Amino acid sequence: MAQLRAQLGLNRYEADEYYRMALAFYRKHNINDAITYVGYALQLQPKNAEYLATRGFFHLENGVLDRAQSDFDAALARNAYEVLANYGKGVLAYQSKAYDEALTHFMKAWAAEETRPETHYYLALCLYHLARYAEARTWMLSAYRLFEQKQDKTHARDADRWLMEIDSARKKAERA
């Protein structure tokens, strides 16, 4: 029966329904149900890199970093350019102050989806911490513009403040 369901595509349809429900729970800030429902989707489609990366992201948001890491690794084993998995691995590396590693993951996330402002923002932050201020400024300016396009005023203000910080650090480095 399971094989027939798979042949008819019913597992995929049902998994997608669970996945949509997980995303709805996440939007309502119900992270535990979001994790549960993406888990149901993974029971039906255990090799789906997008589902794995999403569960990893939910774990990251929930502060369960070892599970997030495990899910991101599993997703990347299936698709080396899975956007959310690379983004999540970048965040984990950034939080650990492994800026070169974070930069690598954020670059892969950017290569897979160039218009995500959060990726530009983190690329800028990594470059800032690596004292590569000119590149940091370029990425942060790009993040600012993308946040503005999305009418995300809070993040646009944060990016603008970082632009001033980057400029200040660059001037200080030039004087030294």
Other Cβ atoms less than 10 A from the Cβ of 131: the count is 11
Summarize pLDDT for 125-150 with one digit per residue, the tens.
999 999 999 999 999 999 999 999 99
The residue-averaged pLDDT of 61-74 equals 97
Summarize pLDDT for 94-124 with one digit per residue, the tens.
999 999 999 999 999 999 999 999 999 999 9
- pLDDT, position 1: 43
For residues 51 and 20, what is the distance between their CA atoms, to the nearest angstrom? 10
Q: What is the pTM of this model?
A: 0.89
DSSP 3-state assignment of 174? helix
Rounded to 10 degrees, the C-alpha dihedral 99/101/102/104 comes to 120
Summarize pLDDT for 24-55 with one digit per residue, the tens.
999 999 999 999 999 999 999 999 999 999 99
- pLDDT, position 9: 55
- pLDDT, position 7: 45
How high is the mean pLDDT of the chain?
A: 94
Given a cut of 70, whether residue 8 has pLDDT beyond it is no
Given a cut of 70, whether residue 10 has pLDDT beyond it is no
